[in-house]
Amino acid sequence: MTIGIWVLGDQLNLQQAALAGADPTTARVLLLESSSVIERRAYHAQKLVLVWSAMRHFAADLRAQGWTVDYLQTERFSSALGEWVEQHGIQELHVMEPVDRGFRAAIERLPLPLPVHWIANNAFLWSREAFAAWATPYKQLRMELFYREGRKRFGVLLDEDGEPLGGQWNYDQENRKPPTKGLSGPEPLWFEPDATTAAVIEKVSALQERHGLPGSPEPFRWAVTREQALAVLDHFIATRLPGFGPFQDAMVSGEPTLWHALLSPYLNLGLLHPLEVIQRLETEGLAQQVPLAGLEGVIRQILGWREYTHGLYHWFGEDYASVNHFEANAPLPSWFEALGGSGLRCLDTVFGEIKATGYAHHIQRLMVLANYGLLAGLDPQALTAWFHRMFIDGYDWVMLTNVLGMGVFADGGRLASKPYAASGNYIKRMSNYCKGCSYDVKQRTGPKACPFNSLYWDFLARHEPELKRNHRMGLVMKQLSKLPEEELAAIRSSAANHRALAAAGSN
């Protein structure tokens, strides 16, 4: 019997479940590079280069391991898949369960001459069933409880009695330092494109001309092989891990990466497995005597947040994609698609960084981009789709929970206990963006007023009855109630002016 194994573009790991259970001497592997993906989503050019180059390199790695591999470049994967099955007499097709729900549905719609044999996905620490078993008894799910359970279950950062190292589960309070003057992080490890990547860049450049994809495919410096991804992990542990904690929430112009790990693109492609990353961080971080707050902080991102959002994506189910708690419906202003031109220095700085590499770190995403979306009442589905297309590590499973739940509270609190709304004051405290901005972060009314200020108070006022009921919002709602009526009216008028300006150039 000839078994065919179709390896998807985010399953690039030799230990992935469909490959792990098969015999390289009899099975035949397929990788499909289909340009039809950009008809549904105009992805950032760097993201296409990353995924396709990593797929091509993975095919070469598989061949070197003795697998028979067919790598097909096609316009449509549906016809290419059917032809491949027929041409090679494939009798059973094995696919590791895709992480993104839509992909399985798309495969199931294909007119294939044989059934697909789905193999349970092993790219995460928590299977969907294990997450469901954990979540079932709770009325209200919280990441912190899930994270503690993960620490115990996988034996991470525990002392001999099974208690958290250092006596605390979470040291986040120590990890929120604002940037100091001239703050700069170590140089990241980047790579020059080899001949394979250069060929992909050429293809993506041609597609960009035809389809107007965002971002620029060059210079492209991301890792595209497991070997390179492991080198990024080594480099992070050696040069960035000791400094990661204190400034992980800081934002500095000209310093897009600071001490961030830059591992998410490789974890999400399968080039690295989360368990190996966590174990290396723990072992080597403890050996290097890295401050526990920083070590715990980075491990929480992977063992806690990443696993949690993946688990929730499947736990919440399909309907979650359409949640819109605040009934927000403003279209995205044109500067989102153009990746610049808003006139707000914070937004334009982050847009510029995304344009160059498809990357921005978690606080830029949450407290600048998503915060703006929340305050300005942008359509949450349009915003989520934008995040998915623009970010080098963006996938459906990542962005639904992160943007809809954490970013804009569109799920009404199923994920976060309060909306992450902040005025310009937060951005001023945590970045150096406000210096040199044409808006004044100290003003909340008038033409020079920082739009984050007027939008913030306007947001609170628009949703006052509901937000008053959230005890975590108590303090700010009290401040709102103390604002003189005329001042609130002036703030709301400034917010309306900004929204009109944004809408005038909306897509």
Q: Does 372 bind ligand SF4 (CB under 6 A)?
A: no
d(CA 303, CA 249): 19
Q: Which stretch binds ligand SF4 (CB under 6 A): 166-174, 226-234, 296-304, 434-442?
A: 434-442
Stretch that binds ligand SF4, among 142-150, 265-273, 380-388, 427-435 (CB under 6 A): 427-435
Total residues at interface with ligand SF4 (CB under 6 A):
14
User: Of 259, 243, 414, which Cα lies nearest the Cα of 325?
Assistant: 414
Under rule CB under 6 A, residue 378 binds ligand SF4: no
Cβ proximity to ligand SF4, 50 vs 421, nearer residue? 421
**250 counts as binding ligand SF4 under rule CB under 6 A:** no
Report d(CA 453, CA 114) in Å as an integer.
Answer: 58
Residue 5 or 421 having the CB closest to ligand SF4: 421
Q: Which is nearer to ligand SF4, 383 or 450 (CB)?
A: 450
Q: Scan for tokens 């099975």, then name that residue.
A: 27
The only residue of 359, 439, 457, 459 in contact with ligand SF4, by rule CB under 6 A: 439
Distance CA(140)–CA(312), nearest Å, equals: 12
Cβ within 8 Å of residue 72, ≥6 positions away? 30, 31, 32, 33, 80, 84
**339 vs 450, which CB is nearer to ligand SF4?**
450
12, 99, 339, 346: which one contacts ligand SF4 (CB under 6 A)? 346
Task: Encode burial over 143-179: b for 16+ CB neighbours within 10 A, e otherwise.
Answer: beebbeebbeebebbeeeeeebbeeebbbbebbbeeb
Region near ligand SF4 per CB under 6 A, out of 39-47, 203-211, 281-289, 433-441: 433-441
Amino acid at 311: G
- Contacts of ligand SF4 in 22-81 (CB under 6 A): none
The encoded tokens of residue 358 equal 């498809």
Helices and strands per DSSP (H, E), number in the chain: 25, 5
Nearer to ligand SF4, 359 or 433 (CB): 433
- Size of the chain, expressed as the number of residues it contains: 507
**Footprint (CB under 6 A) of ligand SF4, residues 192-221:** none
Rounded CA separation 131/308 (Å): 8
Q: Which of residues 446-465 bind ligand SF4 (CB under 6 A)?
A: 450-452
Shortest gap between Cβ of 329 and ligand SF4 (angstroms)?
23
**239 beta partners:** none
Minimum Å gap between C-beta 443 and ligand SF4 is 9
Q: How far is the CB of 439 from ligand SF4 (least distance, A)?
A: 4
Residue of 302, 383, 441, 476 interacting with ligand SF4 (CB under 6 A):
441
- Is residue 437 part of the contact set for ligand SF4 (CB under 6 A)? yes
Position 345 contacts ligand SF4 (CB under 6 A): yes
100 three-state secondary structure: coil
Beta strands in 327-417 (DSSP E): none
Q: How far is the CB of 167 from ligand SF4 (least distance, A)?
A: 37
Of residues 285 through 344, those in contact with ligand SF4 by CB under 6 A are: 344
Pick one of 59, 427, 430, 473: the residue that binds ligand SF4 (CB under 6 A).
427
**Quick one: 44 or 428, whose CB is closer to ligand SF4?**
428
Assigned token pair, 435:
């210096």
Contacts (Cβ under 8 Å, ≥6 apart) of 480: 457, 460, 461, 464, 488
Kindly give the pairing relationship between strand 92-96 and strand 28-34.
unpaired
User: Least Å distance between CB 345 and ligand SF4?
Assistant: 4
Choice from 67, 433, 457, 459 touching ligand SF4 (CB under 6 A): 433
The radius of gyration computed from the CA coordinates of the chain, to the nearest angstrom, equals: 23
Q: List Cα–Cα distances, 493 to 338, 497, 498, in angstroms.
A: 27, 6, 9
| Residue 386 in tokens | 């934008």
Which residues contact ligand SF4 (rule: CB under 6 A)?
344-346, 424, 427-428, 433-434, 437, 439, 441, 450-452
